Structure 1
Amino acid sequence: MSETVEPATARRNPLRLPVILAVAAALLAAGSGWWWYAAAEDDGVKFAELREQVRGAGERAVAEFNSLDYRRVDEGMRRWLETSTGALHEELRNTGASSKKQIEETKTVTTGRVTDAAVTELDDRAGKAKLIAAVEIEVAPDGAAATTKRNRFQAELTRTETGWKLSGLGPVPVAAS
């Protein structure tokens, strides 16, 4: 009597390979999803996003504080007050009238533009930050040619209910070589 032998391929389940591939793809997708979620929830990523937020707010505030048109002093000083907080805000409120007269007498338009900035300190819990900025300031006296000055500033920022605001601003001294 003779026995018939079935070929090895006939005994295999034809669905085995597609099932294995589907399971592998599902595991790969699940792993990728987990890694993506873990990266999105990483404290380092959140801190980097916060630094960028602070840098952007600081750049806008420093540019604003270096821009003023003598013909619209009230508008400019209102923007300074809206962009500031703390002791800087109070100082601006207290010296507003005398500063306004002096600015109007100079008959100058200044336009500040931040060319580079970096957050040097950031304390998320305390809501405090420091930033350094390089600024080009175009100074256009009434009836005279405009000139460009370059300055460096250190800014202190404080988080408020309405966002990050300037709480201190001063020049960065140039060290003697």
Structure 2
Amino acid sequence: MAGLAVRPARILIAALSGVLAALVGTGTWIAAQARDEQGRAGDKQAALLAAGTHAKNLVSLDYRTVDTDLRRILDTSTGVAKTEYTTNAGKLKSTTVENKVVQHGVLRATGLVSMTGTTAKVLVVADVEIRWDGSKSPPEDRYYRWQMDVSKVGGLWLVSKVVQVQ
């Protein structure tokens, strides 16, 4: 009779061990999902911030600090965008200095269009006031709307493509 009492106890212990293992596995899976979602949310915010920072750099130029301004544009770009900026930097610098351009930009909004892995598409809205030191011309207001492709490179989100949209 004692042998019969031991068998149900072993079955009960085995069943409880199985339930405990399932609970631990489920808890581990839920924690991993939460970490992944937190990582995705962080990447979304970082992609939006990268596009917004890049836009602000594009619309904030001053003939007195043009080298630093251009460096900021290059530092927030990669790929095709960086190649284009590098190619055009000399002309932009000379035009900015010769015309004594002072642009003060304001970032209005960013919005995530899509995100897959390490790339994102972001819509960006920025406005700029342009004036020319020493000129009698009144300042001009300009309004920019871009779609920016942003890529995660070496842990940093950088703008890889900029297309002006209407």
Asked if Structure 1 and Structure 2 have the same fold, meaning a TM-score greater than 0.5 normalized by the shorter chain, the answer is yes
Alignment of structure 1 residues 100-111 onto 2, 5 Å? 100-111=93-104
* Displacement of 1:40: 7.4
> Equivalent residue of 1:43, what SS?
helix
Residues 1:133 and 2:119 are matched in the alignment: no
Question: Which residue identity lines up with residue 152 of structure 1 in the other structure?
Answer: R
Residues 1:115 and 2:108 are matched in the alignment: yes
Please list every run of 5 or more consecutive structure 1 residues that lacks an aligned counterpart in the other structure: 1-33
> Equivalent residue of 2:53, what SS?
helix
Residues 1:87 and 2:80 are matched in the alignment: yes
Pick which of 137-146 and 105-114 moved more: 137-146
> Equivalent residue of 2:74, what SS?
helix
CA contact (8 A) 1:63 1:113 kept: yes
Residues 1:165 and 2:158 are matched in the alignment: yes
Structure 2 Cα separation of the partners of residues 93 and 149 of structure 1: 24
* Displacement of 1:105: 2.1
* Displacement of 1:170: 2.1
CA contact (8 A) 1:62 1:155 kept: no
TM-score (norm 2): 0.72
RMSD: 2.3
* Displacement of 1:145: 3.9
Residues 1:47 and 2:47 are matched in the alignment: no
Please list every run of 5 or more consecutive structure 2 residues that lacks an aligned counterpart in the other structure: 1-26
CA contact (8 A) 1:39 1:45 kept: no
> Equivalent residue of 1:70, what SS?
coil
Residues 1:74 and 2:67 are matched in the alignment: yes
* Displacement of 1:41: 2.0
Answer with 1 or 2: which has the greater Rg.
1
Aligned residues: 137
Structure 1 Cα separation of the partners of residues 120 and 160 of structure 2: 10
Residues 1:65 and 2:47 are matched in the alignment: no
Runs of 4+ off more than 4 Å = none
> Equivalent residue of 1:110, what SS?
strand
* Displacement of 1:48: 2.2
* Displacement of 1:64: 0.8
Alignment of structure 1 residues 146-161 onto 2, 5 Å? 146-161=139-154
Q: Identity rate of aligned residues, in percent?
A: 26
TM-score (norm 1): 0.68
Structure 1 Cα separation of the partners of residues 145 and 86 of structure 2: 25
> Equivalent residue of 2:64, what SS?
helix
